[in-house]
Chain A
Amino acid sequence: MLSIKNLHASVEGKEILKGINLEIKAGEVHAIMGPNGSGKSTLSQVLAGNDAFEVTEGEITLNGDNLLELETEERAREGIFLAFQYPVEIPGVSNLQFLRTAVNAMRKHHGQDEMNAAEFMKLAKEVSKQVDLDPAFLKRGVNEGFSGGEKKRNEIMQALLLQPKLAILDETDSGLDIDALKVVADGVNALRAQDRAILMVTHYQRLLDHIVPDYVHVLANGQIIKSGGRELALELEEKGYGWLGIRDESTADSGAN
C-alpha cells in the first residue's frame, strides 16, 4: 500500500530524514519508535503533505501513485489520515461544521452524495459515543478548550468518520491518562481492517500494549536502524534506546522532532 524509498526531508535547510525505507501492506499495523528528535513527527508531517518540510530526495507511493505530487487535501481524499500530535484549536468553526465539511469533501471525491445536516448529525453522534466524547462537543469550536485527552479522542473520531486507507497516529498516546489511553486504543483497534494500514509513531511502548503492532521500526537520526516484530518494542522498553547505541535527546531538544 505505502512504499517509502530513500526519503530525505529538511526543514529550514536542516536535513531531518536521511534516507527512510519502509513498506507497509494493507491490513498491517506498524509502529515507529524512536527518541525525541529522531524525525518521527517529521515523517508523519511529510506523509500528510505539510509544505513546511521539503522533500529533497526519494519517493513515496500510495498504491503505486506518487504521493509527492499530490496536495495535502488530495492525499487526504486518497486515504491518508494524520492524527495530529497537537490537534489545532479553531475557534469560530464548529466541530460539527468541520467534520461534515471534511466528510462531504471525501464523499464528493468518491462520487457519493453529500450528507445533509440531519443525516450527518446522526452519524456524528454515534461515532462520538464510540470514542466516549459527549455529543455536546460537536457544537463547540474545533478542539476549542478541549482537554488533551478530548483532543486525541476527537482525532480518532475523525479517523472513524473519514475511514482512511492509511491512518498515521503521531504520538497519539502522549498526554493521556490510562483510561483515556484505553478509549483511544479501542478506537484505533476499531479502525483495524483488511484494507487499511495503520502507522503509529510513538516514543513509549505503552500504547503498543493496547494496539499490538505487526512490525516495529526504530528511527534514529533520520534513519530506520532496526526493524522487527512486536518483541522489539518490549526489548526497547527493557533496555532503553541506549541499547542500540542511540542517544535519547529528549532533554536536549524535546518538541523539535
Chain B
Amino acid sequence: MKAAPTLPTAFLHATGQSLPAPLLALRQEAGTALVDMPLPTRKTENWKYSSRHLSLTDGMALSLPAEGKTGTSLAVPGYKVAFLNGVMLPEASDYPDLKGIHITSFDDLSEDEARRLAGQLDSTLDASAVQMSRLNTARFEDGLLIRLAPDAVLDQPLFIVHEVSADASGSAFPRIFVDAGRNSRITLVEEYISQGDAPVMVNTVTEFLLADGAQVTSVRLNMEGEAVQHIGATGVRQQRSSRFESHCVGFGGHLRRHDLRVRLEGEGAECSLNGVVVTQGKQHYDNHTNIEHVAPHCTSDETYRNIAADKSHAVFNGRIHIHQDAQKSSADMSNKNLLLSTGAEIDTKPELEIYADDVKCAHGATIGQLDKTSLFYLVSRGIGRREANVLLTMAFINELVDRIPVGSVRDTTQARLNQFFDQTFEEA
C-alpha cells in the first residue's frame, strides 16, 4: 500500500527567529510533529471535495517577505491592526491603550507573557481534526494577542486586516489569539485581502477563549484574490453564560477553506454562527463547522447560505455533537444553497451526533435555483431580468447581510456582491 503523502520538507523550515523563546520552542515542537503528518487526500473524509485544490509545492513553502507593497490603506471606522504577510505593521496600525485591554503582537511579548500564551495556543483546536492548523503553529512568524481583563469592554470594533502581497509564490501564517475575561466584550473583524497574482497560501488560526459571561462578536471577511489558497481555522471555547456570535462572509478563489469549531463548555453558553459564501468562475469554497455541546443548557444557532455561479463549487459540512451530559441543549442549524448555473456544484452535509436524551435539535438543508414563477412575477411588472435576478438573489441572503453588526463590513460586502451581480447576470 502506498503511504499517504506528507508535506514537502521545505515546509518544515520556519523563518522569523525574533519571537520570544517560549513561542519559538512551541513552533519547533509543532514542526517536529509535522514531519510525518499525512496530508489530506480525496480519501480524507473532511477534505474529500477540497484536497485536489491543495497545492503544497516547495515554492509554496517559502515564507513571504515581511515587507512589500501594501495596497489600499483601508480606512476603518474603529481600531485597526494591520498585518502584511503574517507580520504586524505597527506604522499602519491604530489602536488604543485602554485599561484592561491588552493588544500586543507576539513579537513584542515579554518572556512571561509568551510563556503563558504558549501554554494556551492550540487549546481550542483538536489538531487531529484540523490538520492544517498544525502547519500554522509550526510556521507563524508573528501574531496578535488580545487579552481582555474581567469586565473590560472594547468600545469600537477592532479590525485586523491581514494582507498578503507577493510577486512570487509563498505562504503567510496569520495567527490571532483572543482571551476574553469574565463579562468582557469585544467585536473583532478579521479581513483577509491580497495584492498580486502570484499563487500563495494563507494559513490562518484564530482562537477565542470566552470566560464566564464574556460576549465576543467575530466577523470574518474573505476578500482575497483568485490565486490565493486560504486555509483557515477558528477555534472557540466558551464558559458559563458566554455568548459567541460569528459572521463569516466569503468570496471564492482557487481554494477557500474554513474550519470553525466551537465548544460550549459552561452551562448557559450560547453561540450563533452565520455564514454567506459566494463563488463564481471555477472557484472553490469549503466551510466546515463543528459545534460541541459539552455542558447542559447551551444554545447553538447556525445559518449558512451558499451561492454558486458558473462552474464554481461550494461545500458546507455542519456537525453538531451533543455530549451525553449536555441535557437541555438546543441546537438549530440551517443551510440553504442557491445554484445560479447548471455547471455549478454545491455539496452540503449536516451531521448530528446526539448522545443526550433531553435535547431540542433541528436542522435543514436545501439546494435550489432561482424560482421561475417569482422571476416572471417581477419582470411582469417591468423590472428588468438582471434587476429581478439581483432582487431574488439578495432575497436569499438579505437576512444574513443585515445581521452583520458592523456597517462598514455590510457596505464592503454589498459592494463586492454588486460586482458579482454585474459579472453573473446579464441584461436581457
Chain A residues within CB distance 8 Å of chain B = 48-50, 52, 71-73, 75-77, 81-82, 84, 87-88, 90-93, 97-98, 101-102, 105-106, 109, 141-142, 158, 162
Q: Give the distance in Å from the alpha carbon of A72 to the alpha carbon of B372 in the complex.
A: 13
Main secondary structure of the interface of B (DSSP, over half): helix
Q: Per a CB cutoff under 8 Å, which of B382, B394, B398 touches A76?
A: B382
- Determine the residue in chain B with the shortest Cβ distance to A84: B377
Closest to B387 in A: A101
- Say yes or no: B382 contacts A109, CB within 8 Å: yes
The reply to whether B399 and A102 form a contact with Cβ atoms under 8 Å apart is no
Question: C-beta contact mask, B391-403 vs A, less than 8 Å → 1, else 0?
Answer: 1101110110000
Known: A71-B428, A92-B399. A97 touches B391 (CB 8 A): yes
Query: Which residues of B have CB within 8 Å of A109?
Result: 382
Would you call B395 and A91 a contact (CB within 8 A)? Answer: yes
Count class of interface residues, chain B = 20 to 34
CB-CB contacts below 8 Å: B364-404 with A: 371-374, 376-385, 387-388, 391-392, 394-396, 398-399
CB distance from A70 to the nearest CB of B (A): 11
- Complex: how many Å from CA A73 to CA B385? 8
Q: How far is the CB of B398 from chain A (nearest CB, A)?
A: 5
Across the A-B interface, give the 9 residue pairs with the lowest CB-CB distance, nearest first. A92-B395, A76-B382, A102-B381, A88-B377, A73-B379, A105-B382, A72-B379, A77-B382, A93-B395
Beta-carbon contact of B392 and A105 below 8 Å: no
Given A75-B380, A101-B391, 8 further pairs, Cβ under 8 A: A50-B380, A73-B383, A73-B385, A76-B379, A77-B382, A84-B380, A90-B392, A98-B378
| Closest chain A residue, CB of each to CB of B384 | A73
Instruction: Pick the contact of A105: B374, B384, B396 (CB < 8 A).
Output: B384
Neighbouring B residues of A141 by C-beta, 8 Å: 395
CA distance A210 to B391 in the complex (A): 36
Do the beta carbons of B384 and A49 come within 8 Å of each other? Answer: no
Interface centre among B374, B377, B380, B392 (most CB of A within 10 A): B380
Q: Are B382 and A162 in contact (CB under 8 A)?
A: yes
**Given the complex, which residues of B lie within 8 Å of A72, measured CB to CB?**
376, 379-380
Please state if B382 and A90 are interface contacts (CB–CB under 8 Å): no
Give CA–CA (A52, B399) in the complex, Å: 31
Q: Which residue of B lies closest to A102 (CB)?
A: B381
Indicate if the CB atoms of B395 and A73 lie closer than 8 Å.
Answer: no
Asked whether, in the complex, the Cβ of A93 is within 8 Å of the Cβ of B382, the reply is no
B273–chain A nearest beta-carbon distance, Å: 20
Give the shortest distance, in Å, between B366 (CB) and chain A (any CB).
13
In the complex, A109→B383 CA distance in Å? 10
Chain B CB within 10 A, most for which of A50, A73, A77: A73
Q: Which chain B positions have C-beta within 8 A of A81?
A: 380-381
Interface centre among B381, B391, B398, B399 (most CB of A within 10 A): B381
Q: Which of A77, A82, A88, A92 contacts B396 (CB 8 A)?
A: A92
